[in-house]
Chain A
Amino acid sequence: MAFETKNVEKNQLAAEVQALKNGGQRLLTMTCVDLGESFDLLYHFDLDLQMTHLRLTVPKGESVPSISGIYFAALVIENETQDLFGIKFEGLALDFGGHFYLEEEVKKYPFCKVTVGKTEKAGEGA
């Protein structure tokens, strides 16, 4: 099972997603992967049981255009990503401001690699 993605740039994202929507694609979800210096945002679409993937790579600290204007369902996904990774989405239809999942006392952006146990453990061993 090959995993093929199509790379897109930030300014093309809305146009690409709109084109996919016009083609009858259903938004499945979005995945965010921490690459260290940047984030990979993978958009997964589905049409007739076939998946299509878009890949958008953004450096840390940059904001990303929201696609919740095109797919309303992207709202919850983008709010989740904002909570867990701290990526800002421009034009989010309903912004929970990073408290969709997490309370204030929980550490910020827990899914970023610097905060999880593996790197801490590796540091102890060295």
Chain B
Amino acid sequence: MATIVPFGPQHPVLPEPLHLRLVLEDEIVKEALPTLGYVHRGLETLASIRDMDQMVQIVERVCGICSCIHAHTYCMCIEGLMGIEVPKRADYLRVIWSELHRMHSHLLWLGLLADAFGMESMFMHAWRIRERVMDVLEATAGNRVIISVNKIGGVRRDMSPDQLRWVLQVADELEKELDLIKPVLTNDYSVKKRTVGVGVLTYQQAYELGAAGPQLRGSGVAQDIRMTGYGAYKYIDFAPVVEKDGDSWARTMVRFRELYQSIDIVRQLVSSIPDGELAAKVKGKPMGEIACRSEQPRGELMYYVKATGDKYLDRVRIRTPTFANVPPLLVMLPGCEMADVPIIALSIDPCISCTER
């Protein structure tokens, strides 16, 4: 006899309201059905009552964890439509803030995953390290989470040479701290027991289901939108982090290694940041259609903007990484044990407010 067990929307391991209806036979999940809409606000429609500068603040609040990257991508769309050349220093600063966001997002996720399998000490350590990044964000941008540094044509704030030196110093400290927790994560028996072989997504499945970000790279597909060289990524060199196994462990390791990669990118950027203007002049109204992509901590983000030369934009469509990662989740869950559901759900790094907008 099959039993239906509701998972969420209020669940101890989930900070967000994700609801899954799990069809169980004994302890084995046979089928999983999602219900979304607990966080749906319909903010894409706000484009019709907010002008394009105000929309920057709206799209930042699609997701509070990677707000900087949302605003960056939206600004890229409008700049692309209007043919604005962003000053080089602004490009660098945008990417430095984006990478700081990536670091804090991955550390946050590492903490939540550790909490899901009951490793409270790892949760505390990951979040303690994360506070360093938050301090940098607060000191350089004025707010801890939603930093609002992007505007159309450039950035609002500058980083002083002292602050840049401090960023480098924090990057060094972060690397040391990560080196300390790395053996705890990689050598621990219980961590491996809970994650290795759990929630396997093969290369073929990941590709066909349109998985995004660490989910895709954890299955061996070397796809990283940063390789397209948007923003300041074209001036630095890095390679996508790829793991082959496709299980929760592989995804954990992708994110953990991306932390080191982000530290490296920040170092490269800070050491070569040019002087110059912070923002280009914006005149007129955008017209036409454009689609821009960027790499969020959770995967690839796509914005589609259609403008008609009016004060308001015609359509803003936001395709977020977790939205793409829901179908792979539905494929991974059948066959697993009930107790592994939180681990698998967290291993895609769900961001429900992104998904539903």
Contact = CB atoms under 8 A, between A and B. Distances in A.
Judged by CB atoms under 8 Å, the answer to whether A and B touch is yes
Describe A's contact surface by its main secondary structure: mixed
A42 interface: yes
Given A3-B289, A100-B37, A73 B49 contact: no
Contacts, number: 91
B36 A118 contact: no
Interface string A29-61: 101111000000010100001010100000000
B48 A1 contact: no
A44 B304 contact: yes
B37 A102 contact: yes
B210 interface: yes
B184 interface: no
Describe B's contact surface by its main secondary structure: mixed
Contact of A73 (B209, B300, B302, B314): B209
Interface string A83-115: 010000000001000011111000000110100
Most B Cβ at <10 Å: residue of A32, A73, A101 = A73
Size category, B interface: 35 or more
Interface in A13-28: 21, 26-28
B291 A3 contact: yes
A101 B37 CA distance: 4
A29 B290 contact: no
Interface string B236-258: 00000000000000000000000
A76 B37 CA distance: 12
Closest 7 CB pairs of A and B: A29-B319, A118-B48, A101-B37, A73-B327, A73-B210, A31-B317, A117-B49
Interface of A: 1, 3, 21, 26-29, 31-34, 42, 44, 49, 51, 53, 71-73, 75-77, 84, 94, 99-103, 110-111, 113, 116-118, 121
